């Protein structure tokens, strides 16, 4: 099996069966995103319409030795008025823009990625069996773990991601560094979820530990590339199957190498 990993994975992806698998997470994710978007938009507009801001200001002037004090009281009500008030000042304008476009955009991006990952989890065994039949007939898909262990590890990874998000907050406001700081927790979960999904399908627990010990950096490099590809607009909706194919080949090739090494030994 000397074919280039990425070339072989691309060829497998554009087969009829794999393209059929690819549309499942795509359609499901689109439905989920639309439902979340309209629900969040309605809730946000309702809360803004019911809110108001009252601004009091005092101006003191002196004319011919007489002091004059004028007080003004302005009430901003409704969502549009509040946003108009906030956008009048550079610091609040920047913070509002950052929150809406960066945090909001990243939130929707992460939802798209991990909704697709959850959906593709149900298809991974079928994809792995197809790869094994086509390219690795001599290898058995042994797998390890159960529903409870997988759920436990998934919850642990999610908790660590949230801890990383909080710890890295100071770096979110530093240009260029914030790109890495914001994406690192999400890449961590992306990597862990996919490796948990693919690894538990094809490898025993010992084989998985051995692969990550000797080939961990190579595996992480592959998941970094896949994460960057997933950041391309709308790519995250159609790439989950491709991601499983690439990591499936990575895992099965490593297992093939382990078996060959054990035979020689």
Residue 52 falls inside a structural domain: no
Whole-number pLDDT of residue 51: 47
Question: Are 229 and 246 contacting, i.e. CB atoms less than 8 angstroms apart?
Answer: no
Around Cβ 200, how many Cβ atoms within 10 Å? 20
- 9 SS3 class: helix
DSSP state of 171: G
Q: How far is CA 115 from CA 4, 83, 241, 253, in A?
A: 29, 31, 13, 28
Residue 146 falls inside a structural domain: yes
Which structural domain, as residue segments, surrounds residue 238?
5-43+89-264
What are the E-state strand segments in the chain?
52-63, 66-77
Burial class (CB in 10 A: 0-12, 13-18, 19+), 202: buried
Residue 219 falls inside a structural domain: yes
How far is Cα 22 from Cα 18, in angstroms, rounded to an integer?
6
Residue 50 falls inside a structural domain: no
Q: Residue with structure tokens 């001599």?
A: 138
Whole-number pLDDT of residue 258: 84
Whole-number pLDDT of residue 15: 93
Residue 215 falls inside a structural domain: yes
DSSP state of 169: G
Residue 38 falls inside a structural domain: yes
Burial class (CB in 10 A: 0-12, 13-18, 19+), 227: buried
Q: Which residue, 30, 40, 15, is CA-closest to 135?
A: 15
Whole-number pLDDT of residue 261: 81
Residue 81 falls inside a structural domain: no
Which ranges of the chain have pLDDT less than 50? 1, 45, 48-53, 75-80, 82, 86-87
How many distinct structural domains can be found in the chain? 1
Whole-number pLDDT of residue 192: 95
**pTM for the structure as a whole:** 0.71
Residue 71 falls inside a structural domain: no
């Amino acid at each position: 099996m000397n074919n280039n990993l990425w070339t072989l994975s691309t060829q497998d992806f554009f087969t009829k069966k794999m393209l059929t698998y690819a549309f499942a997470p795509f359609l499901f994710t689109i439905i989920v995103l639309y439902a979340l978007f309209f629900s969040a938009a309605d809730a946000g507009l309702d809360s803004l319409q019911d809110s108001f801001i009252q601004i009091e200001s005092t101006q003191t002037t002196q004319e011919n030795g007489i002091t004059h004090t004028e007080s003004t009281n302005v009430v901003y009500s409704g969502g549009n008025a509040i946003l108009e008030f906030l956008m009048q000042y550079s610091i609040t304008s920047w913070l509002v823009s950052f929150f809406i476009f960066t945090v909001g955009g990243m939130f929707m991006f992460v939802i798209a990625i991990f909704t697709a990952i959850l959906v593709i989890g149900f298809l991974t065994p079928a994809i792995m069996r197809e790869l094994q039949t086509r390219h690795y007939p001599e290898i058995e898909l042994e797998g390890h773990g159960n529903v409870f262990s997988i759920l436990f590890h998934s919850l642990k990874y999610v908790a660590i991601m949230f801890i990383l998000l909080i710890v890295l907050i100071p770096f979110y406001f530093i240009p260029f560094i914030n790109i890495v700081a914001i994406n690192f927790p999400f890449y961590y979960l992306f990597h862990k979820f996919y490796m948990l999904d693919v690894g538990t399908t094809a490898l025993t627990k010992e084989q998985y530990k051995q692969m990550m010990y000797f080939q961990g950096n190579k595996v992480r490099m592959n998941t970094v590339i896949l994460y960057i590809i997933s950041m391309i607009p709308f790519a995250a909706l159609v790439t989950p199957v491709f991601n499983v194919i690439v990591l499936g080949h990575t895992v099965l090739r490593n297992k093939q190498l382990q078996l060959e090494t054990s035979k020689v030994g």
